[in-house]
C-alpha cells in the first residue's frame, strides 16, 4: 500500500509518498510554477497508483477545490484534507477557536509530538516564521507568527527606493561576525536572518526561564539557512508536516 501526502503552503507545495511506514519520493514545486504552467506541472511528478491522498492546505479554499479535482482524477481517489482540531493525536489545541489555528501548524505539532512526546518548540521557517509550544502533557501553550526572511526582504524592497531585493541567505553558524554586513544587500539579508534567529532564541530563553526544557524542531523551506544559528541544536525535520499527516493517516487505519 502507498499513500500520497501533500503539504500545500503559500509559496510551494511539497509531497511525499508513504510506503511501508516511511516517507519516500519527496519533492516540491513552487506556487508560482503552478500558476504559470497549471496543475499539470504538479501531476506529471506524482504517482498515479496510490491508496489515499492526505493534504494539509493553507493556500485557500479555491486552490483546495481545484487541487482536489485534479489530484482526485489523477490518482483515482478522494483527497482528504486535515483540519485543526480541539484535541487529537496526543495534543490539545490552545486556541479558543481551534479551526482558526493554521492547519500546517497543527499538523506540524502532531508530527513533533509523535516523535518526542515531551515539551517542544516547533519552528517553521517559510513565507512566515511560526513558533508553537507544547508542554510535557501535549498542551499547546500558544505561538507566534512573524514575517519570514524572504517576506521581510520583499517588504523592504517594496517600501523603499534604495534598498534592493536580495537573494536568500546562505547557512551561517552562530556567532559568525559576518552577520555585520559591509554593503546594503548583505545588510538586508543578514538583518532579516538575525531577526528570525533572534525571535527563536528569545522564545527558547523565555521557555527555559519558565522551567521548560523544550526540544526544538525546525522545519520549513528556510530552515536550512538558520540551522546552525542557535546555541541549542534543533532537530532538523524538513518534512515535519508530512510526518504529521503520516501519523494522522496511520492512526486512522
Q: Which of 104, 124, 132, 150 is catalytic?
A: 104
Task: Return the biggest CA–CA distance within the chain.
Answer: 56
Residues in Cβ contact with 243 at an 8 Å cutoff, skipping those fewer than 6 apart: 23, 111, 114, 115, 237
Q: Helices 103-116 and 240-252: crossing angle, nearest 10°?
A: 80
d(CA 240, CA 1): 21
104 assigned to active site:
yes
Which residues participate in catalysis according to the annotation? 104
Amino acid at each position: 500500500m502507498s499513500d500520497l501526502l501533500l503539504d500545500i503552503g503559500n509559496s510551494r507545495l511539497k509531497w511525499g509518498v508513504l510506503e511501508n511506514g516511511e516517507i519516500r519520493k519527496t519533492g516540491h514545486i513552487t506556487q508560482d510554477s503552478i500558476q504559470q504552467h497549471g496543475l499539470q506541472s504538479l501531476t506529471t511528478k506524482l504517482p498515479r497508483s496510490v491508496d489515499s491522498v492526505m493534504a494539509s492546505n493553507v493556500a485557500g479554499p479555491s486552490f483546495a477545490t481545484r487541487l482536489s479535482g485534479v489530484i482526485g482524477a489523477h490518482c483515482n481517489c478522494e483527497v482528504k484534507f486535515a483540519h485543526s482540531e480541539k484535541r487529537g493525536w496526543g495534543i490539545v489545541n490552545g486556541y479558543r477557536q481551534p479551526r482558526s489555528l493554521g492547519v500546517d501548524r497543527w499538523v506540524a505539532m502532531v508530527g513533533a509530538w509523535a516523535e518526542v512526546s515531551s515539551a517542544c518548540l516547533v519552528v517553521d521557517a517559510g513565507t512566515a516564521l511560526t513558533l508553537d509550544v507544547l508542554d510535557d502533557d501535549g498542551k499547546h501553550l500558544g505561538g507566534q507568527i512573524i514575517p519570514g526572511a524572504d517576506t521581510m526582504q520583499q517588504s523592504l524592497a517594496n517600501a523603499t527606493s534604495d534598498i534592493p531585493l536580495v537573494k536568500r541567505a546562505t547557512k551561517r553558524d552562530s556567532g559568525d561576525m559576518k552577520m555585520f554586513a559591509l554593503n546594503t544587500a548583505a545588510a538586508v539579508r543578514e538583518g532579516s536572518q538575525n531577526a528570525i534567529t533572534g525571535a527563536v532564541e528569545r522564545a527558547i530563553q523565555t521557555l527555559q526561564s519558565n522551567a521548560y526544557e523544550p526540544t526544538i524542531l525546525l522545519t520549513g523551506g528556510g530552515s536550512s539557512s538558520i540551522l546552525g544559528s542557535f546555541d541549542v541544536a534543533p532537530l532538523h525535520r524538513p518534512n515535519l508536516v508530512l510526518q504529521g499527516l503520516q501519523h494522522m493517516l496511520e492512526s486512522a487505519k
